Amino acid sequence: MDPMDGGMRYTPGSSDKDWDTAVTFLPASDNKKLEKKRGPGKVGIVVGLVILAAVLALIIGLLVWHFHFRKDLKLQKIYTGSLRITNQVFVDAYENPDSTEFKDLANQVMDQLKSMYSESPEMSKYYITSRVQAFSEGSVIAYYESEFAVPVGKDAAVDRAVSSLSEMYSNKIRRVQQGPLVFDHVVSSALDTRLFSKARTSTRFAQHARSSAEEIVKSPGFPDQPYTPNSFVQWQLRGDPGHVLKLSFDTFNLEKNCSNDFVRVYDSLVAMDKYLMAEKCGFYSPSNPLTFISSRNVMLVTFVTNEEENFPGFRARVTQISRESPEIACGGKLSGSSGIFTSPNFPSYYPASTTCQWDIEVPDGKFIKLKFPKFMVSTGSPNCPEDNVQIVGKSTLCGQQPANTMVPVNSNKVTVVFKSDSSQVDRGFSATYEVFEPSDPCPDQFQCDNKRCVSLSVRCDGWNDCGDSTDEKNCKCDASMIQCRNGFCKPMFWRCDSVNDCGDDTDELNCGCKIGEFKCKNDQCVSEKLKCDGNPDCKDGSDEEGCTRGDICQASTFACSNGKCITKLKPMCDGQDDCGDNSDESNCDCGKKAYSKSRIVGGQEADVGEFPWQVSLHVKNTAHVCGASVISDRWLVTAAHCVQDDAKIKYAQPGTWEAYLGLHRQKEKQLATKRYLKQIIPHPYYNAYTYDNDIALMELDLPVTFSATIQTICLPAATDVFPAGETVTISGWGATREGGAGAPVLQKANVRVINGTVCNELMGGQITSRMTCAGILTGGVDACQGDSGGPMSLFTNDRMFLAGVVSWGDGCARRNKPGIYTNVPKFRAWIKEKTGV
């Protein structure tokens, strides 16, 4: 008997049929006879017996099904694999599955696979069939799928048999003898069931990129409509021999949850986990390039969607690159006293199955300091068995390393080897090397325990500049510093500011409270007015303890439209109807980035669409002057000081301005939506000397259409307060250093809200309750000229709220000089009155 014919084939539904025939209900032929009489009588007994027999038959049937047939219930299991045929030469016709050459070779491969599986009883029993999907060069590589019908509970045994067979052939313990083809390097693994669900419509494309012509891969319907639900699409991509493929996504916008919709990129022509380079979902901004490079001239892209929520989708270009191209070259000899090197394709994904070696030699007598500004190398475990960077004789790095990780090498020579295995690639690394004198590793600088060098001026300044805090240890604190119990020094004015700066709370203990202040149970002081206001201002919430409803309604809290007062912290737009009339959940179509994932001093470039409410205000036909925020399709919020006439320009006139919405790069105004202004409403109490009430409203001449790059930001409730220490985000095209030029690309930075009392002391008593202070008191991060009018955004309840408007400051990013922002909640009623928003 042919071993492949042994065992039972899987027939869908066969078990149901078996169950049906095993259970037979007896017919009740004469209903009249079954009518109830007084007492059971003869008929009653017969009916009883019939029912009993039926129940018995049912039980027996179920038992027979369970013990006899169920074990034959089989699951369809598909293994995908590739193998190398060492005694064949690739011909072009193998690229075409309809060619005779393809069919002949495919039949031979299928025959030999069958005889290969016959060597294992586990596989021979359950094998159904194989299909060859493609061939590629090298000598000839065949990509196939093998289908098995595996009884429930036996799949682990079959998985083991398949992988041990692959191991034997890959390690050349065996070669296939039963046919004319000689195989080696047989690799196969079970296909993820999500890729062959029958509920999905399946489409397959085969494309060949040439040097003269790129190919395009895009999700079905892109760009005109969202991608189709329940689909499985795969693209088999090829290049010419001697080339590798580069897949560059220019748009990538899928559902956030990868278990619903996802794209996979394989370094193979079949979907095999061993060659899975990456699985991606969510959004990738064009400013954060997503490109993949294959290790040979083939690549497979698969796209799976489920029935829910379809997004715009993706588009990618496929180009071929010569193996010798400098674009993918890596490694080599490096000399001189400093230099840089990166993983191939950095800052995008490095190719799989790649090795690069750099031999660095600096002048005799000097030592080498290696620094990794960025380091992301894929790994599954800490000892770096997969992808890694080996600093030979020193250490091996993998995973994600902190920015500027430093490795000193006590020699003038070092070899660095980067290795990636066949699956799971990442963005790689950038590295620099420089020399240091063995006797003085940190000339004129402080050497941290982690071997970093930092400026002597930052020693004991309260800020962890080393990364391991060694610059803040063993400090003798002078009178302007707090001596923390743990040995750190922190600036005195950080005392009692509700932020645990010491790390052991020393700076927040024994804070005596002034008149008009409430002493929290944790010794913190907060304004008496904040007691029972519905917001926990004390870190331990003690200012909200023992409050009666009367207190709560007197003090500021969220006021519902139905007159109810809410004590819950941040009830707005949290998805719960706290008011009972849903007024805390109305106007919540705001503050969401269309994408799941865009100067400001000390910031970084935003991603495209990261701040879709950010507006750039230009004086007509000139340049950017101020920022603003979109609060509806017709209204913007900006700073009043941006719209004050001066001797030359009539800033208060709507006709002076043009507003750019959805702008990212100042040079790309043509890609943004331009609007003129219908009216400008500065706050009537704006004070040009003190910058009090620094807020203004602008009405657009025409409403805008919302899009991925234009959205509204949510307005906070009038009662919202932003406690000290809270992180907020500032954004704008302002100067990147004090007195410097504006930023060409939108910048963002995170700063922390600073206690109003501390801020008032730092700013010489100029802070009013209409202002909020935020910054990083050690300096370096701040808003600056040109950011004015723009948003200070706070992330709450999964959306962004306009906490403040950039207003003023004492210079930019100076130590102990926070940025000052207009406190938007104080103007909530005025905004509503003027705009209806």
Contact between residue 257 and residue 309 where contact means Cβ atoms under 8 Å apart: no
Could you tell me the sign of the dihedral formed by the alpha carbons of 452, 455, 456, 458, in that order?
negative
440/453 Cα distance (integer angstroms)? 11
Closer residue to ligand 4AZ in complex, CB, 470/785: 785
- Mark whether 694 is an active-site residue: yes
Residue 812 engages ligand 4AZ in binding (rule: CB under 6 A): yes
Amino acid making up residue 605: E
Q: What minimum distance in Å lies between the beta carbon of 623 and ligand 4AZ?
A: 14
Q: Is residue 787 part of the contact set for ligand 4AZ (CB under 6 A)?
A: yes
Catalytic annotation, pick one of 387, 578, 694, 782: 694
Can you tell me the distance from the alpha carbon of 241 to that of 779, in angstroms, rounded to the nearest whole number? 55
Question: Does 781 contact ligand 4AZ by CB under 6 A?
Answer: no
Picking from 269, 272, 125, 116, the residue whose alpha carbon sits closest to that of residue 190 is 272
Of the pair 243, 618, the CB lying nearest ligand 4AZ is at 618
Q: Does the protein bind ligand 4AZ through residue 771 (CB under 6 A)?
A: no
| Matching residue, tokens 């430093």 | 406
Q: Between 544 and 692, whose beta carbon lies closer to ligand 4AZ?
A: 692
For position 782 contacting ligand 4AZ by CB under 6 A, the verdict is: yes
Q: What Rg value do the Cα atoms of the chain yield, rounded? A: 35
Task: Specify the length of the chain in residues.
Answer: 837
Q: Could you give the CA distance from residue 486 to residue 509 in angstroms, rounded to a whole number?
A: 14
Rounded CA separation 461/475 (Å): 9
Choose, from 120, 788, 793, 807, the residue flagged as catalytic.
Answer: 788
Nearer to ligand 4AZ, 276 or 783 (CB): 783
Residue from 320, 388, 755, 788 that binds ligand 4AZ (CB under 6 A)?
Answer: 788
Q: Report, in this order, helix, strand and coil percent for the chain, each rounded to 5.
A: 20, 35, 50
Looking at 447-455, 544-552, 746-754, 806-814, which segment touches ligand 4AZ (CB under 6 A)?
806-814
809 forms part of the interface with ligand 4AZ (CB under 6 A): yes
Rule CB under 6 A: say whether 695 interacts with ligand 4AZ: no
* 378 in catalytic set: no
Q: How far is the CB of 493 from ligand 4AZ (least distance, A)?
A: 18
Mode of pairing for the β-strands spanning 727-732 and 481-483 = unpaired
Note if 420 is an active site residue: no
In angstroms, the Cα distances linking 675 to 422, 590, 608, 656 are 51, 20, 20, 12
Per rule CB under 6 A, is residue 696 in the interface with ligand 4AZ?
A: no
Applying CB under 6 A, which part among 150-158, 284-292, 440-448, 784-792 lies near ligand 4AZ?
784-792
In whole angstroms, the minimum distance from the beta carbon of 756 to ligand 4AZ comes to 16
Structural contact between residues 378 and 384, judged by C-beta atoms closer than 8 angstroms:
no
Task: Dig out the tokens for 546 from the structure.
Answer: 């023992």
Minimum CB distance to ligand 4AZ smaller for 711 or for 788? 788
Q: Cα–Cα distance between 822 and 837 in angstroms, integer?
A: 18
Rule CB under 6 A: is residue 806 a binding residue for ligand 4AZ? Answer: yes
Nearer to ligand 4AZ, 372 or 808 (CB): 808
- Our finding on whether 783 is near ligand 4AZ (CB under 6 A) is yes
Number of residues in contact with ligand 4AZ under rule CB under 6 A: 11
Q: What three-state secondary structure class fits 484?
A: coil
From residue 188, how far is each of 147, 160, 271, 273, 423 by CA, in Å? 12, 11, 10, 9, 14
Of 232, 354, 223, 243, the residue nearest 299 (C-alpha): 243
641, 683, 731, 807: which is the annotated catalytic residue?
Answer: 641
Site for ligand 4AZ in 813-832 (CB under 6 A): 819
Site string for ligand 4AZ, 371-410 (x = CB under 6 A): ----------------------------------------
Smallest separation, CB 343 to ligand 4AZ (Å):
38
- Dist CA 99 CA 695 (whole Å): 73
Phi-psi region of 813 (alpha: psi -120 to 50; beta: other; left: phi over 0): left
Q: Which of 65, 262, 488, 808 binds ligand 4AZ (CB under 6 A)?
A: 808
Min dist. Cβ of residue 733 to ligand 4AZ (A): 11
Q: Say whether residue 785 binds ligand 4AZ (CB under 6 A).
A: yes
Considering the complex, state which of residue 609 and residue 775 has its C-beta at the smaller distance from ligand 4AZ.
775
Active site residues: 641, 694, 788
Q: Applying CB under 6 A, which residues contact ligand 4AZ?
A: 782-785, 787-788, 806, 808-809, 812, 819
